[in-house]
Structure 1
Amino acid sequence: HESARLLGFKIPFSVAEIDEACRTLLKKQGFQDAYVRPIAWRGSEQMGVSAQNNRINCAIAIWQWPSYFDPAQKLKGIRLDVAEWRRPDPRTAPSKSKAAGLYMICTLSKHAAEAKGCADAMMLDWRGQVAEATGANIFFVKDGKVHTPTPDCFLDGITRRTVIGLAKDRGFEVIERAIMPEDLEGFEQCFLTGTAAEVTPVSEIGPYRFEVGEIAKTLMNDYSAAVQPKHAIAAE
């Protein structure tokens, strides 16, 4: 709903109604562990730049998605390229919305990374600061403290906020700050967070190397424990 507000339209269903529809779909498919993607978009009644008279369409897609990254590589830490494309200035696009149009540069960056044999890419923002990966937020560890970029030009993901909470529950200090590419040399660990990525350790970004350390492993296990359903939805 917040993304829709930022994009200038209103979703014609409440959060509770969408949540119930998601649960119904999961139950009908018999899925106990699945990826759920509600989407909303403007229709085609009015063609042109203006879309004021278009109806708002909604849909929900669900599918079983075992792992966003290769499971074996995930345990060793994935490799990231450094993207050529950058996250835009918030004054040029509604960067805090989960808008499909903003994923164009992410797709281009991920394709370029895969062509180099990497699993994903780290994106900088328009200022040259570290922002995120193409579809996940990024964290670093140094001296037992967790560092992550301030989400001022990219999506503050639900998984990101969840992992920050889990880290604090473990007593780890979490620092949200501006991170420059040269700062990576001093970090010991790195990991990504996202609905699909969950918590994924990173072993390499360009010339920088990281260990799959205890903090990354702990948060990966804590997150997995937090999201595993205690009771199968399909059996409700």
Structure 2
Amino acid sequence: MAGGYNDRDGKIWMDGELVDWRGANVHLLTHAMHYASSVFEGERAYGGTIFKSRAHSERLLGSGVAIDMPIPWTVDEIEAAKQEVLAVNGLTDAYVRAIAWRGAGEDMGVSSSRNPVRLAIAAWEWGAYYGDAKMKGAKLDIAKWKRPSPETAPSHAKAAGLYMICTMSKHAAEAKGCSDAMMFDYRGYVAEATGANIFFVKGGEVHTPKPDCFLNGLTRQTVIGLLNERQIKVHERHIMPEELEGFEQCWLTGTAAEVTPVGQIGDYNFEVGSLARDMVQTYEKLVRG
């Protein structure tokens, strides 16, 4: 599939109907465009099966509730729609994007309770999120923006508005020749990358930030489970910036990122070591199993 994301062949599911890709449009006064009243999920299908599909659909509905935007479709209806999208587009290995938003309606101020909640699902072929980083390790910048306190934003929701500072941070990182940026949280602890959770290795044990102000990713949870199965100690805790110097290995996790080793964060270097490589391979076997 080539061309801009607005100019492709295929079908997109919108509000219960399959529409032509190029015709999957919304009105200029759609509330979400002005006020970020939108939640979404990113999912990957392997061999025609979406990994943790139902968990993604359940989280989508939960995110809608979290931003006071109940989504009027059930998990079963969303599951059926995703399969329909894969089938009609002839896709087996694909990225799947489900998105719900406040559409155009009677309200065009901050309030949007009278506007309809809409839902769309698209799918397309998408390779490695960080290119060849799975072999040599991704290079990360350190973002100037921080993940906000859960008292200021619903950090447990996968809400579009929470990604604004991620976009700015990734743009700044790419301008420096980096793949992504690592972010601190509002307290100064290590948090995550712009769209992926982060893990570190020291002395054969794994350390990962406690997700108390950012998304506890489904891939993150899966990888922790894989480590537990290997009886590798996992410390979920607050990590201070000065600890980065002492870590030996590092990797990112996310639906798009899958498991991607990190070779550098700012001035800190990491080995693409055996545990990082093992997690890449083990996760790949799991999702394709």
Indicate the TM-score class for this superposition, using the shorter chain for normalisation. over 0.9
Distance across 1 between alignment mates of 2:79 and 2:244: 39
Distance across 2 between alignment mates of 1:103 and 1:138: 17
Q: CA RMSD in A?
A: 0.9
2:217 paired with 1:146: no
Tell me the equivalent position of 1:98: 158
Secondary structure of the structure 2 residue equivalent to 1:202: strand
Normalised TM-score (structure 1): 0.95
Tell me the equivalent position of 2:228: 168
Alignment equivalent of 1:136, drawn from 186, 191, 196 = 196
Listed as ranges, the matches of 1:1-236 within 5 Å are 1-45=61-105, 46-71=107-132, 73-228=133-288
Deviations 1:42-87 (Å, cap 9, x if unpaired)?
112111011110110000011110111112x331001000000110
Secondary structure of the structure 1 residue equivalent to 2:145: coil
Deviations 1:186-223 (Å, cap 9, x if unpaired)?
11000000000000000000111100111111111111
Runs of 4+ residues over 6 Å off in structure 1: none
Distance across 1 between alignment mates of 2:177 and 2:108: 41
Secondary structure of the structure 2 residue equivalent to 1:83: strand
Secondary structure of the structure 1 residue equivalent to 2:244: helix
Deviations 1:159-189 (Å, cap 9, x if unpaired)?
1101111111122111100001110111100
Deviations 1:129-153 (Å, cap 9, x if unpaired)?
0000000000001111111000000
- Look up the equivalent residue of 1:52 and give its one-letter code: S
Q: Which runs of 5+ in 1 are unaligned?
A: 231-236
Q: Which runs of 5+ in 2 are unaligned?
A: 1-60
Normalised TM-score (structure 2): 0.78
Identity of aligned residues (%): 61
Secondary structure of the structure 2 residue equivalent to 1:85: strand
Structure with the bigger percentage of strand? 2
